[in-house]
Structure 1
Amino acid sequence: MHPNQDPIIALATPQGVSAIAVVRLSGKGVIGIVNGLFCGSDLTQQASHTIHFGLIKKGDTTIDEVLVSIFIAPHSFTKEDSVEISCHGAPFIVSALIELFVAHGVRIAEPGEFTKRAFLNGRFDLAQAEAVADLIAADSALAHQTALHQMRGGFSSALQELRKALRHFAAMLTLELDFAEEDVEFLDRKELHKLADALIKNLTSLIDSFQLGNVIKQGVAVAIVGKPNVGKSTLLNALLQEERAIVSPIAGTTRDTIEGILHLGGIPFRFVDTAGLRENTSDAIEAIGIERTKAQLKKAFIVLYLVDLSNTTFKQAAADLVRWGLEGLPVLKIGNKIDLAPAAALENFKDYLLIAAQTGSGVAQLKDKLLELVAYKPTDGLATVVINARHYDRLQKSKQALTAVITGLEQKRSNELLVVDINSALYALGEITGEITTEEILGEIFSKFCIGK
């Protein structure tokens, strides 16, 4: 058990008025403390994971009727004695309860302290603890599944396999050092090279998954750009299937950015309808809108470049791509208003996705293409995906160390130097799971959690 078991308390449900609120306590003696203020069953004589109805009283004054759930160590989230009090959700009642327990020696929990204690008490490793915060913040089906997979140890299992192979690698090289005078080799150098290559391949797979992980966690920013009146607002409305943006035949209707979120395959796509791109506008507000459009281009993961096929030639569309600096950006070229365009004109736009936003024609194909661009298929099984920037950084460091091992093998460096690089790789992976950590790292991680978790 972690030595710091002083009793802590926090509201576990959101602030504000609600039907029910849950106040949680954890630490040494919390069951006895709650029992001293509870009128009902003797909580100290009850079994773990039981719920009891009664009153919480301050002297002769009843604060509230409550349900008290008790969890006896080590069978709790924190692996300490824990209590959860379900009360009515009036802020006054919640404050009165917390103040009462603070007056009886319980202190207010720090952000993430319950989860931090769970980690320190061996409930799960650090990667799993961080997944708790990701699970709470999940705003899409895929983000939820990915965080749950990590919280249940999917990512940690993959890391443990890597660490196991590395430890074996280091042990064999170290053992050879003990028999240096006999010139004994416990592992063939070609086999060591092959093992290092395999480990790097596994690390690379995890590292490469971070792009998708970032998309799952943050969503995909998609900017819809083009000249005025090409149908950007109509396309946004067609994608969201609601009248999110004003549609008008008057050029320059959209003066500012308009956003909408659509979930595709469990991934949130954040579409931004922008002001139409044109030069020499005399409208000061429209000019500001165009500048904001340019700013959105820099933030976008995908740029939907929309062309009006009814009045634009392929040569003009290509020139506009260059004029607005869209070349080199992650651009998906879309030809709109195919229902109004001459059939002969469509032949020139073979590398464009052709749609009619007004009627919805081609919009389903556009959604499929967007999923394809983020390299995710909804039918794929849930594999291990890296969603945490800290994990990504440590995986990179581990890969760098293993690359140095391969260089060392090729240059026939001594076992002592090879073991140093292997240990560096092990250290980086250990920082992810918390097998190697510092108070500074823990403080940085858990400070980002909400109070009560």
Structure 2
Amino acid sequence: MLYNDSIVALATPSGAGAIAVIRISGNEAITIGNSVFKSIKNKDLLKQKTHTLHLGHIIDDTKTLDEVLVSIFKGPNSYTGENTIEISCHGSTYIQQQIIQLLLRKGCRMADPGEFTLRAFLNGKLDLSQAEAVADLISSDNEASHQIAMQQMRGGFSNEIAKLREELLNFASLIELELDFAEEDVEFADRTQFHELLNRIEFVLKRLIDSFAVGNVIKNGIPVAIVGEPNVGKSTLLNALLNEERAIVSEIAGTTRDTIEDELVIGGIGFRFIDTAGIRETQDVVESIGIRKTFEKIEQSQVVLYLFESLKFKVQSSEYILEIEKVKNQFPLKPLVVVINKTELLTEDEVAEIKNQLQPLNVILEMISAKQNIGIEELKNQLLSFVNTGALRNNETIVTNTRHYDSLLKALNEIQKVKYGLETELSSDLMAIDIKEALYHFGTITGQVTNDELLGNIFANFCIGK
């Protein structure tokens, strides 16, 4: 598909607002804009400098549609690398549609989702990983995901990959040169240096692959299941964590009959709290369905908060300890935090006794009063400790994109094949095949190797206007 026509789209969210921005990009963008714009000072947009603003009106024949501010960005010094103008008009949906329809009649076509960023990629303004970071930046809803998206958009990840790819490409060229002089039996590539390079590439790839575990939860939020018997304060805890009355609270057991989800940002990291129906034996059909969903939500969560009511735990501690062991054994890889609620009803000796009883289980214990907001900040800090934020503080590259993760795994597999071939003195022609495969997977990350299907899949998820 050729991208040499002029496209138009609303660059701001649809709906009424104070201001709306309509974006046009293409070789004829300024010409088309000039044909519908009348400057208050009779300026010709075609003669104006790039990166300038101009006040005037959008005119449809003799009808004035709106007073607007037009921004001019001449290619290649624009987001897309093409001539681009942005029309800032009043945010009436009627005005927006009238201006866009006028521009369509003047020769524009409606932009596809992500087409402005796609053109930026095709015109060399962004590599593919940076383009994907644009979508992540738009969807970021906490400090951590915003920081990662900004780092990738600035080229931190792609620069690291490009440097490794360039060094590997240099050695690949020397290996290929050896093949041309196979009869002379000469070596142009220093095997010792090559082995050091492969070790370094393997180390970086493993670090990037390992970072995906952190990056994925930062990008999507960390799901935390709040479970326990009915009426122990799960909904009250959720409200205390969120600092709002999100869940219904009553003294009636089984009030929460379905899962309730909400999000909270702690230390720049997003957590998705899931208040589930209580775990207990019941004849209530609807409540039974909720309990079954509870176990499904535990399976989907990454952290489990097992909540107990303090006075009941004091009386039924042996029974509850068995339940804790059961959950811990069923989900051994999930952090389990035992939360004792309503601790204001206990004496200091009773609190100490509960701590002694739970110590052999080697679980994390938090003593709180959700109703009185006691221990809530300590619980938040405990949740934050489950996330490795050191990489963020050190500004290290963190992988959040599943496509990148898959390409890194494939590249690592090929690098390990090359290392094995080097150690076993495999022939250069066979090593060259594995090197080319590794280079290919590096290239798919930054877009040096791509196809229309891949680009379609990536940019289809963008919003129109970006």
Is TM > 0.5 for Structure 1 vs Structure 2?
A: yes
Deviates more, 1:127-136 or 1:365-374: 365-374
- CA drift of 1:379 comes to 7.3
Q: Which runs of 5+ in 2 are unaligned?
A: none
Relative distance call for 1:257 and 1:416 in structure 2 (3 A) is: same
- CA drift of 1:222 comes to 0.6
Residue in 2 aligned with 1:271?
A: 273
Mapped partners of 2:167, 2:159: distance in 1:
13
- CA drift of 1:101 comes to 1.2
1:296 aligns with 2:288: no
Q: Which amino acid aligns with 1:36?
A: S
Mapped partners of 1:244, 1:225: distance in 2:
17
Residue in 2 aligned with 1:354?
A: 366
Relative distance call for 1:327 and 1:73 in structure 2 (3 A) is: closer
- CA drift of 1:323 comes to 5.0
Quick check: 2:235–2:247 contact (8 Å CA) kept in 1?
yes
Mapped partners of 1:83, 1:393: distance in 2:
38
Residue in 2 aligned with 1:4?
A: 3
Mapped partners of 2:431, 2:262: distance in 1:
53
After TM superposition, the runs of 4+ consecutive aligned structure 1 residues lying more than 6 A away are none
Quick check: 2:223–2:302 contact (8 Å CA) kept in 1?
yes
Residue in 2 aligned with 1:55?
A: 57
> How many pairs align?
451
Residues 176-195 of structure 1 correspond to what in structure 2 (within 5 A)? 176-195=178-197
1:340 aligns with 2:345: yes
Residues 210-225 of structure 1 correspond to what in structure 2 (within 5 A)? 210-225=212-227
CA RMSD of aligned residues (A): 2.0
Quick check: 2:366–2:375 contact (8 Å CA) kept in 1?
yes
1:420 aligns with 2:443: no
Mapped partners of 1:379, 1:435: distance in 2:
28
Mapped partners of 2:215, 2:2: distance in 1:
36
Residues 375-394 of structure 1 correspond to what in structure 2 (within 5 A)? 375-377=388-390, 380-394=393-407
Residue in 1 aligned with 2:31?
A: 32
Residues 85-96 of structure 1 correspond to what in structure 2 (within 5 A)? 85-96=87-98
Quick check: 1:174–1:419 contact (8 Å CA) kept in 2?
yes
Residues 98-247 of structure 1 correspond to what in structure 2 (within 5 A)? 98-247=100-249
Mapped partners of 1:236, 1:271: distance in 2:
7
Quick check: 1:353–1:366 contact (8 Å CA) kept in 2?
no
Q: Which runs of 5+ in 1 are unaligned?
A: none
Residue in 1 aligned with 2:318?
A: 315
Bigger helix share: 2
Deviates more, 1:365-374 or 1:332-341: 332-341
Deviates more, 1:203-212 or 1:368-377: 368-377
Mapped partners of 1:53, 1:361: distance in 2:
57
* 3-state DSSP of counterpart to 1:272: strand
Relative distance call for 1:5 and 1:320 in structure 2 (3 A) is: same
**Structure 2 length normalisation: TM-score?**
0.92
Q: Which amino acid aligns with 2:304?
A: V
Mapped partners of 2:51, 2:392: distance in 1:
39
Mapped partners of 1:157, 1:224: distance in 2:
41
Q: Which amino acid aligns with 2:289?
A: I
- CA drift of 1:228 comes to 1.8
Mapped partners of 1:330, 1:27: distance in 2:
52
- CA drift of 1:55 comes to 1.3
Quick check: 1:234–1:357 contact (8 Å CA) kept in 2?
no
